[in-house]
Structure 1
Amino acid sequence: MPLQPASPEIITTVDGVRRLADRLGSEPIVACDLEADSMHHYQEKVCLIQFAVPGYAAIVDPLAAPDISPLAPLFANAAIRKVFHGADYDIRSLHRDFGIEVNNLFDTMIACQLLGEREFGLAAQLRKRFGVELDKQYQRADWSRRPLTVGMIEYAVKDTTLLIELYRQLVAELEEKGRRGWVEEECELLSRVRVAERGDEPFFLRFKGASRMDGRTLAVLEELLLFRDGRARQFDVPPFKVLGTDTVRELAERRPRLPEELQGITGLTDKVAARYGEGILRAVERGCAVPAQQLPAYPREERRKMERGEEDRLKRLKEWRTEEAGRLGIEPGYIANNALLELVAVKAPRTMGDLEALPPMRCWQRSEFGEQILSIVSPRR
Structure 2
Amino acid sequence: MTDQLEYRWVDDDATLHEVIDDVLAEERYAIDTEFHRERTYFPALALVQLGWGDDRIALIDPLAVDVSAFRRLFESDVTAVFHAAQQDLDVLTHAVGAVPRHFFDTQIAGGFVGYGTPSLSALLNGELSINPPKGDRLTDWLRRPLTTAQRQYAAVDVAHLLDVHDRLLAQLDELGRVSWAEEACRELAQRPVGATDPMAAWTKLKDVKGLRPKPRAVAQAVAAWRERTAVERNTPVRQVLPDLAVLGIAQRQPSSAKELGQARGVDDRFTRGKIAEQLLQAVAEGKQAEPPEQLRGGDDLDRDLRPAVTLISAWVSQVAKRERIDTAMLATRADLTAFLAGDPEARLAHGWRNELLGDGIRRLVDGKAALTFDRGNGLRLVDLDD
**Which position in structure 2 is the counterpart of 1:372?**
360
Give the equivalent residue in structure 2 for 1:351.
none
Q: 1:157 aligns with which of 150, 155, 158?
A: 155
The answer on 1:113 being equivalent to 2:111 is yes
Residue 325 (structure 2) pairs with residue 337 (structure 1): no
- Partners of 1:327 and 1:21 lie apart in 2 by 43
Aligned residues: 360
Residue 82 of structure 2 corresponds to 84
One-letter amino acid matched to 1:132: P
Q: Distance in 1 between matches of 2:260 and 2:333?
A: 47
Identity %: 21
Among 291, 294, 297, the alignment partner of 2:291 is: 297
TM-score, normalised via structure 1 length: 0.72
* 1:107 CA displacement: 0.5
Asked if the contact 1:228–1:243 (Cα under 8 Å) also holds between the matched residues in 2, the reply is no
What is residue 56 of structure 1 aligned with on the other side? Answer: 56
C-alpha change, 1:47 and 1:377, in structure 2 (3 Å) is: same
**1:259–1:365 CA distance, 2 compared to 1 (3 A):** closer
1:1-381 → structure 2 map (5 Å cutoff):
6-53=5-52, 54-69=54-69, 71-78=70-77, 80-118=78-116, 120-126=118-124, 129-138=129-138, 141-195=139-193, 198=196, 201=199, 203-214=201-212, 215-216=214-215, 219=218, 223=222, 226=225, 230=229, 237-241=235-239, 245=243, 282=276, 286=280, 290=284, 294=288, 297-300=291-294, 314=309, 317-347=312-342, 361-369=349-357, 371-378=359-366, 379=368
Shift of 1:204: 2.5
- TM-score for the superposition, normalised by structure 2: 0.72
Comparing 310-319 with 326-335, which one deviates more in the overlay? 310-319
CA distance in 1, matches of 2:72, 2:284: 52
Report the Cα distance in structure 2 between the residues aligned to 1:373 and 1:243, rounded to whole angstroms: 45
* Residue 213 to residue 10, structure 1, CA distance change in 2 (3 Å): farther
Write out per-residue CA displacement over residues 141-175 of structure 1, whole angstroms, 9 at most, x where no aligned residue. Answer: 55443333434323322221122222233334434
Indicate if the aligned counterparts of 2:217 and 2:290 stay in contact, CA closer than 8 A: yes
1-structure distance, mates of 2:248, 2:296: 29
5+ residue gaps in structure 1? 349-354
Q: Which stretch shows the higher mean deviation, 43-52 or 243-252?
A: 243-252
- Further displaced range: 5-14 or 156-165: 5-14
Relative to structure 1, the CA distance from residue 237 to residue 146 in structure 2 (aligned partners, 3 Å threshold; closer, same or farther) is: farther
Supply the AA of the counterpart residue of 1:75: F
Q: How far has the Cα of 1:37 moved from its partner? A: 2.9
Distance change in 2, residues 1:246/1:117 (3 Å): farther
In the aligned structure 2, how far is the partner of 1:104 from the partner of 1:231?
32
1:37–1:46 contact (8 Å) kept in structure 2 = yes
CA deviations 1:295-335 (Å, max 9, x no partner) are: 77343378997595x67765664343233123234443322
Residue pair 1:174, 1:180 contacting (<8 A) in 2 also: yes
Task: In structure 1, give the amino acid aligned to 2:56.
Answer: Y
Contact 2:258/2:271, CA 8 A, preserved across alignment:
no
Q: Residues of 1 paired with 2:282 and 2:192: CA distance?
A: 37
On the 8 A contact 1:340/1:361 being kept in 2, the answer is: no
Counterpart of 1:364 in structure 2: which amino acid? W
Question: Partners of 1:229 and 1:197 in 2: how far apart?
Answer: 9
Structure 1 CA distance, aligned partners of 2:145 and 2:157?
A: 19
One-letter amino acid of the structure 2 residue matched with residue 88 of structure 1: Q
1:226-274 deviation digits (Å, cap 9, x = unpaired): 469748855x543334565467657866999699989x96xx9xxxx68
Over aligned residue pairs, what C-alpha RMSD do you find?
4.5
Matched letter for residue 294 of structure 1: Q
